[in-house]
A = this chain, B = another copy of it.
């Protein structure tokens, strides 16, 4: 199971109701995608233990996406037994840290800073987190993908009927086929491929069909929706998307669900949701504290 919690859903400037951008993903471990100002407190308010953060991924270095990470580091250092925390961030982060670090109490070894790049960033037991470049002003900016591995799952009844038992299951999985009682059984005859769960986050991004390619068939697309179509030109100029544009990407990519986030301060939310739904029905505008639970397919 993969739990996605929206810790902050505002864009650029917070409001009384929306904190700065941050998303928590809990699979076997806990990851943060962006870490805007106030993130550690939102984690506390939403019952997400900050001590368990395996890695923080910062999509780009605009202040609203990164300013929560320094306080989080301090809190983890002071209040937990953790010896290290990993942060993936674009070039420039180490310079920010150099300015701030004399004020912090951590040893250099406490931080494992990795430069964000396109491709796989983190490999888990049966999943990966990777990044892809997006179009956002002149900043180096990335989107993120959580990809669970595809898995072969046996049709137990079929397999037993064909005589498979014990270590034969492993053998057929390794060889692709197996002789059982004189007959050749192919792996595909007794199994199906469970597609791994896929979550794609655009970070801050203008309308970009490249994002649709990356998001192809994703279980969940989390997309920039700083503006509505009423301010489409401003959106493009500022390197952000409108709700309708986000929905177009979702439709093109045939994702299962779209969540609009990075909501501009002039919008309440429902009007952006309505705009998106006209293009892509399964759209929802994120709220702070919203949780989405993704479950793998049960059977085929």
Asked whether B66 lies within 8 Å of A41 as measured between CB atoms, the reply is no
A268 at interface, CB cutoff 8 A: no
Asked whether A67 lies within 8 Å of B37 as measured between CB atoms, the reply is yes
B-contact 0/1 string along A92-112, CB 8 Å cutoff? 100111111011100000000
Asked whether B38 lies within 8 Å of A79 as measured between CB atoms, the reply is no
Contact of A99 among B38, B40, B96 (CB under 8 A): B96
Count of identical protomers in the assembly: 2
Contact of A103 among B15, B20, B66, B103 (CB under 8 A): B66
The CA-CA distance from A16 to B46 in the complex, in Å, is 9
The CA-CA distance from A37 to B61 in the complex, in Å, is 17
A78 at interface, CB cutoff 8 A: yes
A16 proximity list for chain B (CB < 8 A): 41, 44-45
Instruction: Using CB atoms, name the residue of chain B closest to A74.
Output: B63
Asked whether A96 lies within 8 Å of B100 as measured between CB atoms, the reply is yes
Asked whether B95 lies within 8 Å of A99 as measured between CB atoms, the reply is yes
The CA-CA distance from A51 to B79 in the complex, in Å, is 35
Asked whether A37 lies within 8 Å of B71 as measured between CB atoms, the reply is yes
A152 at interface, CB cutoff 8 A: no
Give the number of residues in A that approach B within 8 Å (Cβ atoms): 37
A129 at interface, CB cutoff 8 A: no
Instruction: Using CB atoms, name the residue of chain B closest to A50.
Output: B13
Nearest-neighbour CB distance to chain B for A239, whole angstroms, equals 13
A70 at interface, CB cutoff 8 A: yes
A40 proximity list for chain B (CB < 8 A): 13-14, 37
A158 at interface, CB cutoff 8 A: no
The CA-CA distance from A75 to B38 in the complex, in Å, is 15
- Given A99-B99, A100-B100, check contact A67 B63 (CB 8 Å): no
B-contact 0/1 string along A231-256, CB 8 Å cutoff? 00000000000000000000000000
Nearest-neighbour CB distance to chain B for A22, whole angstroms, equals 12
A213 at interface, CB cutoff 8 A: no
The CA-CA distance from A97 to B67 in the complex, in Å, is 13
A30 at interface, CB cutoff 8 A: no
